[in-house]
Structure 1
Amino acid sequence: MTAPKVRPKWRPPLALIVYSVLLAVMALPILIIIWFRATETTSIRMTPAEVGALVVALVLTLAVAYVLARTITGPINALIARTDEIARGGKTAIRPLESYGTREIATLSQSFLDLAGKLVDRTEYVRSFAAHVSHEFKSPLTAIRGAAELLRDDDAEQPMTTAQRLRFLDNIIADAERLDILLLRLRELAQAELPMAQGETSVEDILPMLRKRFPGLEIFGLGDTQTAVALPFEAAGIVFANLAENAAQHGATRLDLAVAADVRTVTILVRDNGSGISEGNRERVFQPFFSTRREQGGTGMGLDIVRTMLGSYGGAIRLEQTAGTGAEFEITLPLRA
């Protein structure tokens, strides 16, 4: 979810409020002394002037208390109550306060709203991710268990044929390989969530690895391929290998990496000549576990890993519109520091 924004308007800084309160408090005894010296009375009973001075002091004290409550203690207490409500699972509590008082409290509240929104998103992501992972693992595990039970319970009087036995063993091997792929993707996702050591690389550095790993693809680097970006070699390998694998699974035979750099960022267009992405699937390609090539070994985690990895290093990826066949992704990354 998108965290609500604090309404921007001028608010006094906290220092101004504190200094004003201190000056007001310091002014109270000075005003009283000046008042009594100006009236100079020896009567035991309080004169109207003395009563007036006490009333003024009381009014000023109440005014100071109101200012402090309105600008500091009230918003802070409301923020504390809102935090407790969110901690108890109150998602509807993620909304702006009615009053912020000072500029600093407004900034603090906005940071709180942003953090609360991210925590809610992360909680929902983890819940959905756990459900998808359990589903993805359940299918091959169930198939392996079923095949193993059939092999174990083979009837000695009517044993299965060699072809049947080999078919069950092949199914077990294929499902085990799928589990290996899922575990590899989970490790890559963990690396994407927790950035590796800082480093830099270029498309020119990545091309030999991609060509060796995907011999069925003609991979070309175009433009400023020697420009280094703020992405370590291992992270860059994960990003572009996932994009190349995605292209290969969609029948591509050619992959182009076109690089263009400006003052601060590098843009890399990754284009293939595969079957492309249908209009109905464009909004879903970055969703975890969404795949249209599950039969060919697709896990639906590749593009989510790419987006997460790039985000960890200040980059981004988006799917571009293509006129003909194939798919095109635009990657933006900061230049090396």
Structure 2
Amino acid sequence: MEAPKVKMKWRPGLALVIYTVLLAVMALPVAVIAWFRAVEATSGKMEPAEITALIVALAFTVVVAYVLTRTITTPINALIARTEAIARGGKAEIQPLDRYGTQEIATLSQSFLDLAGKLVDRTDYVRSFAMYVSHELKSPLTAIRGAAELLRDDDADYPMSFPQRQRFLDNIIADAKRLDILLSRLRELSNAELPNVRGQANLEAVLPRLREQFPTLRITAAGLASSSFGLPAETATIVLSNLAENAGQHGATELNIAVAVSEQQVALIVRDNGRGIAPSNWDRIFQPFFSTRREMGGTGMGLGIVRAMLGAYGGTIELIDSEAGAAFALELPKLSETG
């Protein structure tokens, strides 16, 4: 979608407006003096008191003009220049201004810098995400194409044996399934990036779905399971399902979800009794497409989807220490924005 364009027409600059107003203020005492002189028909010579008053008014106007320029015009022009610099130089140009002038301009500048940082990070994310997706799609597509070409070019004089043909067909089916899983994960991630549903849920409402989806896992709850948090039930189910799926894939038979409530947030501590996560992988588990089960069909997108979904609703997730298995701390908003 193309950004809306500002209608181009002549508009006075801020400096012109400020100085015009100040000149009008300055002209007021001059007009008053001229009026009273005309009415009283006094001599054209100005009295010392009148000259002093005009000098004081002029000095006051200059001081006010300097203050307004220093506190309003200069910071706004600097913010405009910083915007153009960020557009040219990217993240390296996201720097605070030398001066802000007023509290409102400082707040505006901070909001702008925060937005610029998010936009630059989003650009970097999309670039790296596109690179990862193209790499992940290329491998199974190459394998499918190679197997299909071998089947197509099978020599009639020396045909493949049935086991060979079956092996190539199995490879095609397996790679097609992997592509299907990958595309499903991409759809989930797309929905996570642009949430269009707001709502509330609680752990009591989500637990039956989890237990039905993962019958081999013993899923239990502790704490205030009836406390509502600012995620729709479907989103909460996807988040916890990804964690439960990871736990099951790493040999877990039990999954416990503990709930703690503060004034602003609901904290979920999700623990399993599986093999856990190797310390060498702690810094990598949230990276897109990182998986320790790639040979078994893992896409490495589950935790990325969880983080994106929680982030879209104002929540966070982090890996925490655990004596056995893996443990994650989820911070969720207590109430949705729409109430």
- TM-score grouping bracket, smaller chain normalisation: 0.7 to 0.9
Pairwise CA distance, 1:80: 0.9
Distance 1:322 1:256 in 2: 13
Pairwise CA distance, 1:71: 1.2
| Code of the aligned partner of 2:88 | R
Aligned to 1:282: 282
Distance 2:237 2:174 in 1: 26
| Code of the aligned partner of 2:248 | A
Distance 2:134 2:123 in 1: 17
Answer yes or no: is 1:173 the counterpart of 2:173. yes
SS of the aligned residue for 1:83 comes to helix
SS of the aligned residue for 1:174 comes to helix
Confirm or deny: 8 A CA contact 1:249 1:298 kept in the other structure. Answer: no
Answer yes or no: is 1:327 the counterpart of 2:338. no
Pairwise CA distance, 1:241: 0.8
CA deviations over 1:160-209 (Å, ceiling 9, x no partner): 11111111111111111111111111111111112242222222222232
Aligned to 2:64: 64
Answer yes or no: is 1:207 the counterpart of 2:207. yes
Aligned to 1:185: 185
Relative distance call for 1:260 and 1:93 in structure 2 (3 A) is: closer
Distance 1:65 1:31 in 2: 18
Confirm or deny: 8 A CA contact 1:147 1:171 kept in the other structure. Answer: yes
Pairwise CA distance, 1:78: 1.1
TM-score after normalising by structure 2: 0.84
SS of the aligned residue for 1:271 comes to strand
SS of the aligned residue for 2:330 comes to strand
Pairwise CA distance, 1:251: 1.8
| Code of the aligned partner of 1:303 | L
Answer yes or no: is 1:251 the counterpart of 2:229. no
Mean Cα displacement is larger for which, 247-256 or 58-67? Answer: 58-67
Structure 2 unmatched ranges of 5 or more: 1-16
Relative distance call for 1:238 and 1:26 in structure 2 (3 A) is: same
TM-score after normalising by structure 1: 0.84
SS of the aligned residue for 1:88 comes to helix
Structure 1 unmatched ranges of 5 or more: 1-17
Pairwise CA distance, 1:73: 1.1
SS of the aligned residue for 2:280 comes to helix
Answer yes or no: is 1:135 the counterpart of 2:135. yes
Aligned to 2:293: 293
Confirm or deny: 8 A CA contact 1:24 1:64 kept in the other structure. Answer: no
CA deviations over 1:25-56 (Å, ceiling 9, x no partner): 64763378469979x99555667666655544
Confirm or deny: 8 A CA contact 1:201 1:230 kept in the other structure. Answer: yes
Answer yes or no: is 1:239 the counterpart of 2:239. yes
Answer yes or no: is 1:120 the counterpart of 2:120. yes
| Code of the aligned partner of 1:332 | E
| Code of the aligned partner of 1:335 | K
Relative distance call for 1:29 and 1:201 in structure 2 (3 A) is: closer
Distance 2:81 2:261 in 1: 49
Confirm or deny: 8 A CA contact 1:276 1:326 kept in the other structure. Answer: yes
Alignment RMSD (CA, Å):
2.9
Aligned residues: 317
CA deviations over 1:124-171 (Å, ceiling 9, x no partner): 011011100111111111111111111111111111111111111111
Aligned to 1:148: 148
| Code of the aligned partner of 1:199 | G
